């Protein structure tokens, strides 16, 4: 299960776009983080039943990871886009290399970072 931040900044949108591309590449199934935050029980149960959850947060605030913590769920992988050297701003375009960096970080050795 892939849960991206979809925040209004470039890094939130990079997280979301990386999740879309990973899903298209067969890496996993993208899921709605907002549905989990709204405590929609069938969606929460799907997260609890998932083989593993990967989280892509845009910035160090780590909203997506914190949402999982409220549900007492732990990701098997967690990537923070800004920790990959991508500066947060509100531009609507970014180099494709940013997406490559995020996807490579997720495919690397399992790691869970702390905010």
Measured torsion, CA atoms of residues 42, 67, 50, 112, in degrees rounded to the nearest 10: 180
pLDDT the model gives residue 108: 79
Cα gap 61→54, rounded to integer Å: 17
pLDDT the model gives residue 109: 65
Cα gap 19→25, rounded to integer Å: 10
Q: Using one digit for the tens of pLDDT, what is the confidence trace for 58-114?
A: 999 999 999 999 999 999 999 999 999 999 999 999 999 999 999 999 987 654 444
Indicate the pTM of the whole model. Answer: 0.91
Q: Using one digit for the tens of pLDDT, what is the confidence trace for 11-28?
A: 999 999 999 999 999 999
């Amino acid at each position: 299960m892939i849960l991206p931040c979809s925040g209004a900044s470039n890094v939130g949108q990079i997280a979301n776009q990386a999740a879309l591309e990973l899903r298209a590449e067969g890496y996993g199934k993208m899921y709605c983080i907002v549905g989990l935050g709204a405590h929609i029980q069938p969606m929460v149960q799907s997260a609890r039943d998932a083989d593993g959850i990967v989280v892509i947060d845009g910035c160090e605030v780590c909203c997506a990871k914190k949402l999982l913590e409220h549900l007492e769920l732990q990701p098997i992988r967690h990537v923070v886009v800004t920790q990959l050297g991508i500066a947060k701003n509100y531009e609507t375009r970014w180099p494709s290399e940013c997406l490559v960096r995020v996807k490579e970080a997720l495919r690397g050795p399992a790691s869970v970072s702390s905010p």
